[in-house]
Amino acid sequence: MPKLFIESGKQQKLRLDAERQLKEGTAPSAGVSAVGTEALELLYRLASNPESASDALKLLHELQVHQVELDLQHAQIVANEHEVAQALARYRVFYDSAPIGYFIVSLDGQVIECNRAGARLLSIEGEEVGGRPLVGFLADQSRAGFKGLLTALRDSGADASCEVHSRAGGGALRIAANLAPGGATVLLVICEFERSQAA
């Protein structure tokens, strides 16, 4: 079984919590790992001998404390996983329901992922967009500007923006982009120009 390394302060608190629950009788029933047969046999042998009976009690106590520590750690892991899953679901809703288009693209402009608003803005709803070049969804006159944006990002790493039009027509769109942490992908935001800006 792999050893769990815990900061000494946290380990001490865990042990105190485990001992308190054992003393109060509030410790959970064994849920992670029950005391094995070999350990029970050893305890029985030690307890059967008057000279080692006290050692058996100490060992039993240590096993009980360790069991409760494991149960507490397991409960915390389960709670953490639930919290992370809820946070991920919440951010997924924010991402999918945002009123502006979010795209993750490769450094050469291949679409990795986009939200619903992004697909709507480029009129690609219902199409499989992943792995396709974003420039293919732009009007011919917008392609050079978008390629220039990608080049600027790769060369300088600084944020960049440009104005484009969808291949399907419609009003002007504004793309703002930056490199993702680590620099392996590009994060894009696409939104519609307001009429006053586009005029």
Classify the phi-psi angles of 92: left when phi > 0, otherwise alpha if psi is within -120 to 50, otherwise beta.
Answer: alpha
Domain boundaries, the chain: 8-95, 98-198
- For residue 9, what are the β-bridge partners? none
Q: What would the mean pLDDT of 47-60 be, rounded to a whole number? A: 71
Band (pLDDT 50/70/90 cuts) for residue 26 is: low
Whether pLDDT at 6 is above 70: no
Strand order in the sheet with 160-164: 111-114, 101-106, 185-192, 173-179, 160-164
Q: What would the mean pLDDT of 40-53 be, rounded to a whole number? A: 68
- Greatest mean pLDDT range, 26-40, 63-77, 117-131, 171-185: 171-185
Predicted local distance difference test score (pLDDT) of residue 3? 44
Q: How far apart are CA 95 and CA 116, in angstroms?
A: 9
Convert the pLDDT of each residue in 75-103 to its tens digit. Answer: 888 888 989 988 888 988 888 889 999 99
Identify which of 140, 142, 99, 138 has the alpha carbon closest to the alpha carbon of residue 122.
Answer: 138
Q: How far apart are CA 115 and CA 103, in angstroms?
A: 7
- Greatest mean pLDDT range, 3-7, 67-71, 77-81, 121-125: 77-81
Residues 161, 172: contact at Cβ < 8 Å? no
Band (pLDDT 50/70/90 cuts) for residue 24 is: low
Residues 6 or more apart whose CB falls under 8 angstroms from that of 105 comprise 111, 112, 134, 185, 186, 188
**For 43-47, 155-159, 188-192, which range has the lowest pLDDT when averaged over its residues?**
43-47
Q: Which CATH superfamily is domain 98-198 in?
A: PAS domain (3.30.450.20)
Q: Which residue has the higher pLDDT, 2 or 71?
A: 71
Q: How far apart are CA 103 and CA 97, in angstroms?
A: 13
Number of separate helices (H) and strands (E) present in the chain: 6, 5
**Please, what's the b/e burial string for 130-155 (b: 16 or more CB within 10 A of its CB; e: otherwise)?**
eeebbbebbeeebbebbbebbebbee
Convert the pLDDT of each residue in 101-147 to its tens digit. Answer: 999 999 999 999 999 999 989 888 656 777 889 999 999 999 999 99
Identify which of 10, 23, 9, 24 has the alpha carbon closest to the alpha carbon of residue 72.
Answer: 10
Q: What would the mean pLDDT of 159-173 be, rounded to a whole number? A: 91
Q: What would the mean pLDDT of 27-47 be, rounded to a whole number? A: 59
Q: Which residue has the higher pLDDT, 28 or 149?
A: 149
Band (pLDDT 50/70/90 cuts) for residue 199 is: very low
